[in-house]
Homo-oligomer: A and B are copies of this chain.
Amino acid sequence: MSTQRDTIEVMEVAPRDGFQSIAEPLPTADKVAIIQGLIDAGCQRLEFGAFVSPKAVPQMADMGEIAAHFAPRRDLRLCVLVPNLKGAEAARRHGLHDLGYVYSASQTHNQRNVRRSREASIDGLRELVTFMQDAPEFRLRVNVATSFDCPFDGAIDLATLREAVTPIWDIVGDAEVALCDTTGRAHPHQVRAAFEAMMAECPHPATRWAFHGHDTFGMGVANALFAHQAGVRVFDSSAAGLGGCPFAPGATGNTATEDLLFAFHEAGIDSGIDLLRLLDVADRIAELPGGVTASHLRMVPRRRVV
């Protein structure tokens, strides 16, 4: 009935956020096959992996090998998380130029997640941007974790979010900034209000805004749609909902890409991804040993999907 001539960009995060939630390292060949399946389904942006210490994150230890398969594909945007300059240099060596950087709006979460203060993390962002000034082929996504809620400190108010987000504008200029609902506890009106406030205050009109959501509290799709109402056009999600949840055994993780696509595609808002083909990959992901998945669309008969 209602159709909006509009498109969204989906960042498929199963290859990084998803795989990383599985403790036991997966065979590289399986990862490559799944990534290839996602690309074949039409995913053009992927959170592709991370250049981090293999001791800290064993699941990402084969990053170089995976990069070798896909880095030549210049038509894709393969985003790798880098915690520091060393990671950025590794990305360059492997021919990857979409970088992701993450810190938390919550001081407590930042300390526990990356073992330094939020200010130290923002200094790290400054270093990364300086590095990128001599390398114009790079693009940067800044992920602000716990933008709405922190598992330790509870609700994040607008003042705290502002303290976390405004340095990005000074350091990066026109960046892509993701407000991340790390815990899945954000609620739709909060998500819309936060984006509206940050967008209104941002001095760089070309800043791109992204929403990264989890479905732990059942708000995943609604939060994304309310972010869309605020003007967000870039969404992170994970095929099959792979992701798990750090504090609630059995609870769901990332919003499932297939659920998100259904909500948008049915309204005539296209993503360029083929939902049925994406569902086939989601089925394969759901079979990975050790993975926690949660999807609504996967449970209904395929003939009812499109």
Contact = CB atoms under 8 A, between A and B. Distances in A.
Contacts of A157: 1
B251 A217 contact: no
A266 B299 contact: no
Interface string A181-203: 00101011110111001000000
B185 A304 contact: yes
A214 to B, nearest CB: 10
A79 to B, nearest CB: 25
A216 B1 contact: no
Contacts of A263: 187-188, 218-219, 222
A282 B297 CA distance: 24
Chain A binding surface SS class: loop
Nearest to A265: B187
Tallying the copies of this chain within the complex gives 2
Contacts of A1: 157-158, 189-190, 193-194, 197
A306 to B, nearest CB: 11
A195 to B, nearest CB: 10
Contacts of A247: 301, 304
Contacts of A296: 215-219, 251-252
A19 to B, nearest CB: 23
B262 A188 contact: no
A248 interface: yes
Interface in A218-276: 218-222, 225-226, 247-248, 250-252, 256, 259, 262-263, 266-267
